[in-house]
Structure 1
Amino acid sequence: MTRTCRQTARGHVPGTGAYISKTPLAPYLHPRKANHNIHKEYQRINMSGSWTDDILLKIANIIVYFLFLGSNVYTVATPHDIYFTGRDTYITPAPWAFLIWSLIHLLLLGTIIYQFTASGKKVIIDGISWRFPLLGILNAIYVHLWASQHYIFAFVFALFVSSAISHIYYTVKKFHAPANIGDEVLVHLPFSLYHGWTTVLVVITAFQAFGVNAIYEPAGVWTKVFAFLALFFLEATAATYAFSSPEGDLPASFAITWSLFAIFAHQNVHRSGFIHWSALAFALLSAFWVFMGIFGTYKRYRVVSGSILLDEERAPLVGGEN
């Protein structure tokens, strides 16, 4: 009986008296300990997959998102359109530059929905945490002050908004590399675009707070100097985004390039030829950094696709080994 059991558990080597094991024996685990481990694993999976986890923060994100959205809708729905009646400076862009808000709102709506998934919770809830509600509140205050033409206070809150989005941008880029298409499109893309656009808003609001009114005053020497430095700063920031990683930060560079072309379109040659052509030159340079970002992104995905293809080619055929 013993020999029969051994032969069923082991394979007999012909011509010898030896047996080899075909199936390794599993390590013994006490039933009580095994049940405890299974219960802990079930709790971990169940808690990480629950959409009600951190529900207070998720609800706060939803409320603040609609507060943030409403503040920007107000600037368009108000009887005196702020984009046409606000203080016009020598760095003010064409009104269509602010259409980028629509894209940011659309992407952030996806972010709000994405937070209810396991992957989204890891980045948005566990990573960004309460920084997003803080950003939304600061941005709503900034938009209200800017729309009511309190430009000095608006500039102060523009700096607060820039600080908040910079903290989120650093957290996302440094500690949460995109693990899937959801992370790429619904987390990295909107906050990169937001970060680049906020840089533009700080410059625009600074000129509205401390610069001259382009409708009533001609551009003096110092106005031209500061406008040139502002345009150079925006272009240099776009270049910094382009070289921030091997593939570059395409959305942030695009936000700045979009704004520079809008400044070129609004600051016509009759106002100041120097500012007009300077804006065009820096816009073209910034567009070059955008194309660099596109090329870097294409190269990255090509390398990733090539690596996957090589791994598939090197994989052994199913049933090739007996």
Structure 2
Amino acid sequence: MRTDALGHKALNIVSFLLFTGSNSYGSMAPGSRWGAGAHPSYLTPEPWIFGTWGVIHFLLVGMLIYQFTDAGHTPVISGLGYRFPILCVLNAVYAGLASAHSNGHSSISDFVWSLLAFITMIFVAGSVSHIYRTIKVHHASSSLLDTLFVHAPFSLWHGFSVILLFLAGFSAFGVDATHHKAGIPTKIFVFIALLLLEATAAGYALHANGDLAGALVISLGLLAIFQHQTVEHAGKFIHFSALVFFIISLVAVLRASIAAIQARRTGATAEERAPLNA
């Protein structure tokens, strides 16, 4: 058990407890506004997609234990550094701002909360992207535990932060879907957002050093948007656009997954034959 850098490891644990506070799980509570912001938009997904936090939290618990081992000390302490506590605090702030709304019908105060949440989410997305890039480039996975408890949670977080960034933007600048019908400008911006989400998911999946976990989260986010934005609520254009982009992104994820499996099988076969050919 590695007890050096004990203060840093303790800070990781304390920050994680802050991150997993009541605000972080606000999206899972019945009737919660978190994820939709001060008001639902025409990009708001079904609440089940926020269960992604539960998966991320479970893997992060493993990371906090893994940091006390010889194998986990370097990627967690040296790789993540103090960026992890900072990210936890930023995300907790975002959770509080995204769940805040006026008790009455003050559109001005709701806009302020949504705008602050959007700005904070920009910093969250930037922070998690920095961590994701650092561990992927400088601390490549060398074991299953590395993959599960260091790389996987931040791959999921990285992909989910893309979804949250779009949701926060539409909450701040989009129309209230409960009181306003989707006009042509709204439909155009929603279509562009869906297209960018699909392109990001496909890019993650099909890149040479792809991120299947992040791509899958975004793809499922598109499915959740499709389910929530029904024809009766959002109209056929938004509803079926979300469906089409979900299918395209899912095909990219499945294609990349099959390619990865085939590559591993080919590599394993080559290793088995190597001694015979020597």
TM-score normalised by the chain length of structure 2: 0.90
Which digits, 9 at most, give the CA deviation of each residue in 1:123-181, with x for residues without a partner? 11111111111110100000011011311100000000000000001101111111111
Counterpart of 1:239, as a letter, is: A
* 1:43 aligned partner: none
Contact 2:226 2:243 in 1 (8 A): yes
Counterpart of 2:229, as a letter, is: Q
Separation of aligned partners in 2, 1:193 and 1:264: 20
Separation of aligned partners in 2, 1:122 and 1:190: 17
Counterpart of 2:123, as a letter, is: F
Match of 2:32 among 60, 81, 84: 81
From the CA coordinates, give the structure whose radius of gyration is larger.
1
Counterpart of 1:253, as a letter, is: A
Output aligned runs, 1:33-52, within 5 Å: 51-52=2-3
Corresponding position: 1:92 with 2:44? yes
Which digits, 9 at most, give the CA deviation of each residue in 1:239-265, with x for residues without a partner? 11012225x211011010110000000
Amino-acid identity (%): 40
Which digits, 9 at most, give the CA deviation of each residue in 1:193-227, with x for residues without a partner? 11000000000010000000111111111100000
* 1:141 aligned partner: 93
Moved over 6 A (4+): none
Contact 2:37 2:171 in 1 (8 A): no
The DSSP-based 3-state class of the residue aligned with 1:70 is: coil
Separation of aligned partners in 1, 2:55 and 2:225: 19
CA drift of 1:279 comes to 0.3
Contact 2:38 2:114 in 1 (8 A): no
Contact 2:43 2:167 in 1 (8 A): yes
* 1:160 aligned partner: 123
Output aligned runs, 1:29-68, within 5 Å: 51-68=2-19
Which digits, 9 at most, give the CA deviation of each residue in 1:59-111, with x for residues without a partner? 01101111111144551587862258951110000111111111111111111
Match of 1:300 among 263, 272, 275: 263
Contact 2:37 2:100 in 1 (8 A): no
The DSSP-based 3-state class of the residue aligned with 2:182 is: coil
Separation of aligned partners in 2, 1:229 and 1:132: 32
The DSSP-based 3-state class of the residue aligned with 1:205 is: helix
CA 1:74–1:194 in 2, change beyond 3 Å: closer, same or farther?
Answer: closer
TM-score normalised by the chain length of structure 1: 0.78
Separation of aligned partners in 2, 1:120 and 1:148: 37
Higher relative CO (Cα under 8 Å, sequence separation at least 6) belongs to 2
* 2:180 aligned partner: 217
Separation of aligned partners in 2, 1:159 and 1:85: 15
Aligned residues: 265
CA drift of 1:293 comes to 2.5
Separation of aligned partners in 2, 1:61 and 1:112: 7
Separation of aligned partners in 2, 1:262 and 1:77: 14
Corresponding position: 1:120 with 2:72? yes
Output aligned runs, 1:127-276, within 5 Å: 127-149=79-101, 150-246=113-209, 248-270=210-232, 271-276=234-239
The DSSP-based 3-state class of the residue aligned with 2:75 is: helix
CA 1:289–1:180 in 2, change beyond 3 Å: closer, same or farther?
Answer: same
Match of 1:102 among 16, 29, 54: 54
CA 1:72–1:132 in 2, change beyond 3 Å: closer, same or farther?
Answer: same
Contact 1:71 1:143 in 2 (8 A): no
